[in-house]
C-alpha cells in the first residue's frame, strides 16, 4: 500500500477562519495532539505575519519531535529569514513558500508578468535552500493557472531545489476529475517530477475538498493537506479526519493510505473545537454528535439485529468509547491523575492539584463527571500560561422576569487588584451582563458574536460560552465554562478582554527587549 503523507495546516490555514484567535499555549497544545494524531507535517503558522505567530512557531518547533514542523512564507527574503529563526530548532527544518501563478492573481494581485513570477519563484527557492533541507513550494491558485505555464514554473523550482510541490485549489473551484487531471498533466510533462513529492491542498467552497484530494492521490499526489474539522478560510479546507477514515474504510478500493492514528481522531477533533470555539455541526461526517446516532425505527431495528446494516464506521475506530468511566465526588486524587494520564494529558503536580480542585468543586454540583467534562477541566489547566494581572469575575447576579427589565450586577477584581462593582440593564439577561461588564473594563468593546453550547448531556451539563468581540479596535475571542450559562457568559466575556490585555503586554515587552 502506497503511503500518503498528511500535512496538517489547522494552526495556519485553519486559524484563518473568521473568529479564531489562538494564543501560543493553545497552539502548542493542539500541536502536541497533532503529533499524537501522527500528522507527518504540522504547519505551525506564518512566522513573518506577527510576533505572536513567530513565537508560537518557534515554541512548537522546539517542542514537537515526532512530526516535521513547518511555517508559511511569502517569496521574499525577509519572510524566509524570519521563518529560519523560528524553525531552525526543528528536527528537520522545513519551509513552505508560496507564490500565485494564475493569470488573475499575477495580473491583479502581484502585478507581475509570467516571466517575473518564474524568476521570483526560482530565487526564493534557491535562497531558502541555503538553510532549509526541506523546501515546499506552492503555486497559489494552481488550478486556475495556465497548464503550460504551471509546467514551466514547476520545472524551474524543482531545478532550484524544491523538495515538495503543492498544487492548491485555492478557491475551491475544481471538480474531482479536473483536479486529478492537473496532477496527471504535471506528472506527464515535468522532467524530474518523480524526484519531488506532489501535494494536494483543497478548499471546500463547493463541498468537494475531500473528493478532490482523493482524486489528486489517484493521479500522483503523495501528500495531502487539510485541517481538523475542516477549518479554514471561507468554507474551510479538506477535513483530515474524513479523508483518513475514508481511505481506511474503503481500502478495498484504494491502494494507498495514511499513518494517521484513527483512535486519536475524536480527541483531536474535540480539542480543536474547544480551543478554537468552533462548534462541530451535529451531522458532520465522522466526528459530528449524530454520526453514530440512529433515530429512524427501521434503522434502529437493523442496528439491533446487525450493526453493519447501517453503520460503516464504528465509534471505537475514531476513539469514541461507548462505555465511559466516570468519576464522582468520592473519587480520589490518585484516580483523577490516572484518568488524566489515560486521556493523554501531561500535567505538573501543581496543575494536577489545581485541576483536581476544579473537579471537586464541579463534583459537588454534578452527580457524575463525564470524560467531556474532564477534557475541559484538564485542557484549561494544560494551556495556562504564566499568571499576569487580569480581570477576575467575583460574582454575577441577574434579576429577570416577564414584566420587568433584566438587570445585572457584577463584581470583578481589576488588573490593579481593586474590587469593581457595577450594574446595568439590557433587553435580555446576557445583554445586561455584557452592558455591565463594558462599564467595568477600561476600553471600547463591540460584541461581534456570542454562542452557548452544552458539554455532555443532561440538565446538569456544563455550558460553554464563546464570545467574539473587538476590544479597543482589535479582534479577540473568549471562552469559558460553568454550569450556569450566564456565569459562563460573563467569564467568557472577561476571558476575551484578558487575552487581549496579555497580548498587548507581550508586545510591549518584546519592544523593550
**pLDDT for the residue numbered 72:** 98
Number of neighbours of residue 298 by Cβ within 10 angstroms: 10
Rounded to 5°, angle at Cα 201 from 200 and 207: 115
Q: Which helix (H) or strand (E) holds 7?
A: strand 5-8
Q: Which helix (H) or strand (E) holds 134?
A: strand 134-140
Report yes or no: 389 and 416 within 8 Å, Cβ to Cβ. yes
447 has which bridge partners?
469
**pLDDT for the residue numbered 334:** 85
Which residue ranges are tagged as binding site?
13, 201, 203, 237
**pLDDT for the residue numbered 378:** 85
Which residue ranges are tagged as binding site for Mn(2+)?
13, 201, 203, 237
Which of 270, 260, 213, 258 is CA-nearest to residue 237? 213
The upper half-sphere exposure of residue 382, i.e. CA atoms within 13 Å in the direction of its Cβ, equals: 23
Radius of gyration of the chain (CA): 25
Average pLDDT per consecutive 10 residues, the chain (513 residues; last block may be shorter): 97 91 93 97 97 95 97 98 97 97 97 98 98 98 98 98 98 98 98 96 98 98 98 97 97 96 95 92 92 57 59 89 64 84 82 87 79 83 73 95 91 94 95 95 91 84 92 91 93 93 70 52
Whole-angstrom distance, CA of residue 352 vs CA of residue 375: 13
Q: Which three cell numbers stand for residue 404?
A: 420587568
**pLDDT for the residue numbered 272:** 96
**Which residues fall within 8 angstroms of residue 302, CB to CB, at 6 or more apart?**
309, 310
User: How close are the terminal C-alpha atoms of the chain, in Å?
Assistant: 52
Return phi, psi of residue 458, to 5°. 95, 160
pTM of the complete model: 0.88
Which of 267, 356, 378 is CA-nearest to residue 320? 267
397-400 long-range Cβ contacts below 8 angstroms, 24+ apart? 398/429, 398/432, 398/433, 398/486, 400/429
Which of 226, 307, 217, 215 is CA-nearest to residue 269? 226
**pLDDT for the residue numbered 471:** 93
Report yes or no: 425 and 435 within 8 Å, Cβ to Cβ. yes
**pLDDT for the residue numbered 301:** 52
Written as one string, the DSSP assignment of 409-471 is EEEEE-TTS-EEEEEEE-SSHHHHHHHHHHHHSSS-EEEEEEEEEEESSSTT-EEEEEEEEEE
Number of neighbours of residue 12 by Cβ within 10 angstroms: 23
Q: Which three cell numbers stand for residue 1?
A: 500500500
**Which residues fall within 8 angstroms of residue 8, CB to CB, at 6 or more apart?**
34, 37, 39, 41, 42, 43, 225, 226, 227, 228, 240
**pLDDT for the residue numbered 508:** 63
Amino acid at each position: 500500500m502506497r503511503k500518503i503523507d498528511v500535512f496538517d495546516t489547522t494552526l495556519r490555514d485553519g486559524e484563518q477562519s473568521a473568529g479564531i484567535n489562538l494564543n501560543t499555549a493553545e497552539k502548542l497544545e493542539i500541536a502536541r495532539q497533532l503529533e499524537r494524531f501522527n500528522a507527518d507535517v504540522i504547519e505551525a503558522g506564518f512566522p513573518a505575519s506577527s510576533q505572536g505567530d513567530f513565537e508560537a512557531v518557534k515554541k512548537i518547533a522546539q517542542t514537537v519531535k515526532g512530526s516535521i514542523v513547518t511555517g508559511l512564507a511569502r517569496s521574499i527574503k525577509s519572510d524566509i529569514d524570519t521563518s529560519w529563526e523560528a524553525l531552525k530548532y526543528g528536527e528537520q527544518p522545513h519551509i513552505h513558500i508560496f507564490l500565485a501563478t494564475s493569470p488573475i492573481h499575477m495580473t491583479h494581485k502581484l502585478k507581475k508578468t509570467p516571466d517575473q513570477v518564474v524568476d521570483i519563484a526560482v530565487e526564493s527557492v534557491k535562497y531558502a535552500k541555503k538553510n532549509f533541507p526541506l523546501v515546499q513550494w506552492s503555486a497559489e491558485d494552481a488550478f486556475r493557472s495556465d497548464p503550460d505555464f504551471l509546467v514551466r514554473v514547476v520545472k524551474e523550482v524543482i531545478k532550484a531545489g524544491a523538495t515538495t510541490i503543492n498544487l492548491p485549489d485555492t478557491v475551491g473551484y475544481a471538480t474531482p476529475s479536473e483536479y486529478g487531471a492537473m496532477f496527471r498533466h504535471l506528472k506527464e510533462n515535468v522532467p524530474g517530477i518523480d524526484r519531488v513529492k506532489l501535494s494536494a491542498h483543497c478548499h471546500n467552497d463547493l463541498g468537494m475538498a475531500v473528493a478532490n484530494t482523493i482524486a489528486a492521490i489517484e493521479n500522483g499526489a503523495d501528500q495531502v493537506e487539510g485541517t481538523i474539522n475542516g477549518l479554514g478560510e471561507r468554507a474551510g479546507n479538506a477535513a483530515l479526519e474524513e479523508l483518513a477514515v475514508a481511505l481506511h474504510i474503503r481500502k478495498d478500493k484504494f491502494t494507498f493510505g495514511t499513518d494517521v492514528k484513527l483512535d486519536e481522531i475524536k480527541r483531536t477533533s474535540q480539542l480543536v473545537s474547544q480551543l478554537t470555539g468552533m462548534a462541530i455541526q451535529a451531522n458532520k461526517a465522522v466526528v459530528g454528535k449524530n454520526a453514530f446516532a440512529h433515530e429512524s425505527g427501521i434503522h434502529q431495528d437493523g442496528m439491533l439485529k446487525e450493526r453493519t446494516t447501517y453503520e460503516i464506521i464504528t465509534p471505537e475506530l475514531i476513539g469514541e468509547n461507548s462505555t465511559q468511566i466516570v468519576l464522582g465526588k468520592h473519587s480520589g486524587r490518585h484516580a483523577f491523575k490516572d484518568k488524566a494520564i489515560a486521556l493523554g494529558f501531561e500535567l505538573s503536580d501543581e496543575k494536577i492539584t489545581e485541576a483536581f480542585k476544579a473537579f471537586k468543586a464541579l463534583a459537588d454540583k454534578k452527580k457524575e463527571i463525564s470524560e467531556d467534562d474532564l477534557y475541559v477541566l484538564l485542557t484549561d489547566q494544560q494551556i495556562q500560561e504564566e499568571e499576569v494581572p487580569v480581570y477576575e469575575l467575583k460574582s454575577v447576579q441577574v434579576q429577570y422576569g416577564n414584566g420587568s427589565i433584566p438587570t445585572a450586577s457584577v463584581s470583578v477584581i481589576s488588573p490593579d487588584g481593586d474590587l469593581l462593582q457595577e450594574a446595568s440593564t439590557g433587553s435580555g439577561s446576557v445583554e445586561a451582563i455584557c452592558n455591565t461588564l463594558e462599564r467595568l473594563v477600561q476600553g471600547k468593546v463591540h460584541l461581534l458574536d456570542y454562542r452557548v453550547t452544552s458539554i455532555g448531556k443532561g440538565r446538569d451539563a456544563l455550558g460553554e460560552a464563546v464570545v467574539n468581540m473587538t476590544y479597543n479596535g482589535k479582534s479577540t475571542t473568549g471562552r469559558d465554562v460553568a454550569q450556569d450559562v450566564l456565569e459562563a457568559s460573563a467569564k467568557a466575556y472577561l476571558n476575551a478582554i484578558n487575552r487581549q490585555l496579555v497580548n498587548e503586554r507581550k508586545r510591549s515587552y518584546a519592544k523593550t527587549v
